[in-house]
């Protein structure tokens, strides 16, 4: 009576974390600090509360699946500014669709893009390894074969799509590429994005570029999929990019983002989503529109995370393979045995981090590329981050 594909779902990383840590009682009286979940602790801009509270009547209305013209226009104008695109190149009505946070849309896009067979065989979905667990869940329920592309220190934590067997590319339906990456924070160079688009078109698969960390950058704004497509000059075919307000604007609870790209894919995604009904409420759309039009609060968000990375760098530079990521808010620390270190940090210091092995899978060599690592989310206020780094260094040496 159950879909047998559910047995192929990857273990949910935070269920595994609870299984590991719940039996362990911290030996310290210090208050716990949660560094395992990438949930922003910086409050969102106050003006969204005024917008949400001022649209009381609209909470009783069903919102359209494609949002409002003004929301789509705000997104189009933001994309044009952010990625220096030609005016009018992103049509609000053909290229943009709101989503209820990118997580659900990244999952549902597999229902859009994955056929029963590709090249007469079981379709494949490519993803970096380590990977965001939603990619694995979408692959399993779609009945596709997951193909994990190593994203290791020796290749700059960026999957090498040119190393994939052309026979696998021929049956690939979808390629999830996260930039800046979760967990390593590596931004894909524009040449990598162009190459991925070219291969998507050559082998007829959909390139999904997950850019939800694109606005939390350290020094330089990361390149984007739409920017790469514009430089190639051949339209937006085979390309979808996903953005969210969860990280950019610390508005995770509002569940608001968008997908943009190939107009044919957007048209069919709209049709599919009409049946599923993951709409964004009208007041949330208006608040989202205001957030996409405002950059001052995003500057403050970036300054917040830069301060946290300054604190981490002062505390642990030169240890645990520390490097300053291009973007995002995670540390990806080489501690030798990530699961053991996670247990020790909780037991001795009441620090809750995530073992890297829980967001990765063993490669062809049987080695899990995350097993040596822990992922540390630097989302807490600076004074708490400073305390956490002191505790971490004290336990791990």
Contact (CB, 8 A) for 377 and 33: no
| H or E element in which residue 241 lies | strand 239-244
Out of 152-156, 260-264, 385-389, which region has the weakest mean confidence (pLDDT)?
A: 152-156
Mean pLDDT, the chain, rounded, equals: 96
**pLDDT for position 397:** 86
Residue-level pLDDT at 147: 97
- The domains found in the chain, sorted by start residue, are 4-43+297-396 (3.90.1150.10), 48-294 (3.40.640.10)
Q: What is the pLDDT of residue 1?
A: 77
Backbone φ and ψ of 307, nearest 5°:
-60, -40
pLDDT digits (tens, 9 = 90+) for 276-307: 999 999 999 999 999 999 999 999 999 999 99
pLDDT at 55: 78
Tens digits of per-residue pLDDT, 11-28? 899 999 999 999 999 999
**pLDDT tens digits, 56-92:** 889 899 999 999 999 999 999 999 999 999 999 999 9
Confidence of residue 364 (pLDDT cuts 50, 70, 90): confident
Alpha helices in the chain (DSSP H): 13-21, 47-54, 69-82, 102-113, 133-142, 166-170, 190-203, 225-232, 245-248, 263-276, 282-293, 296-316, 338-349, 382-396
Structure tokens that stand for 190 in this block: 């524009």
pLDDT for res 258: 98
Distance (Å, whole) CA 95 – CA 103: 19
Query: Which has the minimum average pLDDT: 50-64, 135-149, 171-185, 359-373?
Result: 50-64
pLDDT at 2: 87
User: Taking the C-alpha atoms of 380, 382, 384 and 386 in order, what is their torsion angle to the nearest 10 degrees?
Assistant: 130
Inter-CA distances, 335 with 121, 217, 322, 387, Å? 40, 25, 10, 19
Condensed to tens digits (0 to 9), the pLDDT of residues 87-133 reads 999 999 999 999 999 999 999 999 999 999 999 999 999 999 999 99
**Strand-strand pairing, 124-129 and 172-178:** parallel
* pLDDT tops 90 at residue 46: yes
Q: How far is CA 188 from the centre of its chain?
A: 13
């Amino acid at each position: 009576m159950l879909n047998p594909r559910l047995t192929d779902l990857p273990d949910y990383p935070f269920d595994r974390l609870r299984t590991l840590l719940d039996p362990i009682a911290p030996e310290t009286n210090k208050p716990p600090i949660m560094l395992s979940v990438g949930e922003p602790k910086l409050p969102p801009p106050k003006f969204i509360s005024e917008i949400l509270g001022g649209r009381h009547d609209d909470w009783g209305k069903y919102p359209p699946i494609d949002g409002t013209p003004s929301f789509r226009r705000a997104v189009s104008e933001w994309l044009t500014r952010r990625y220096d695109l030609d005016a009018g190149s992103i049509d609000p009505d053909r290229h943009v669709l709101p989503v209820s946070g990118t997580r659900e849309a990244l999952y549902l896009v597999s229902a859009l893009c994955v056929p029963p067979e590709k090249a007469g065989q079981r379709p494949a979905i490519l993803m970096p390894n380590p990977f965001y667990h939603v990619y694995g869940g979408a692959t399993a329920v779609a009945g596709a074969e997951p193909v994990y592309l190593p994203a290791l220190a020796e290749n700059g934590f960026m999957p090498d799509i040119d190393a994939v067997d052309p026979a696998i590319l021929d049956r690939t339906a979808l390629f999830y590429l996260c930039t800046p990456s979760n967990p390593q924070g590596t931004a894909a160079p524009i040449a990598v994005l162009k190459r991925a688009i070219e291969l998507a078109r050559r082998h007829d698969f959909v390139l999904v570029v997950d850019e939800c960390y694109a606005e939390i950058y350290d020094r330089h704004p990361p390149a984007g999929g739409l920017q790469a497509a514009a430089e190639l000059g051949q339209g937006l075919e085979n390309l979808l990019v996903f953005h969210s307000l969860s990280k950019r604007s610390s508005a995770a609870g509002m569940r608001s983002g968008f997908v943009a790209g190939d107009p044919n894919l957007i048209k069919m995604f709209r049709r599919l989503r009409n049946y599923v009904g993951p709409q964004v409420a009208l007041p949330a759309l208006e608040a989202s529109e205001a957030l996409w039009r405002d950059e001052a609060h995003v500057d403050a968000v970036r300054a917040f995370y830069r301060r946290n990375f300054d604190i981490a760098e002062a505390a642990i530079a030169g240890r645990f393979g520390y490097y300053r990521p291009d973007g995002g808010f995670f540390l990806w620390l080489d501690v030798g045995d990530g699961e053991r270190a996670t247990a020790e940090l909780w037991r001795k210091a009441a620090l809750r981090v995530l073992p890297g092995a829980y967001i990765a899978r063993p490669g062809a060599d049987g080695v899990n590329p995350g097993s040596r690592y822990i992922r540390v989310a630097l989302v807490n206020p600076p004074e708490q981050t400073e305390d956490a780094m002191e505790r971490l260094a004290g336990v791990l040496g």
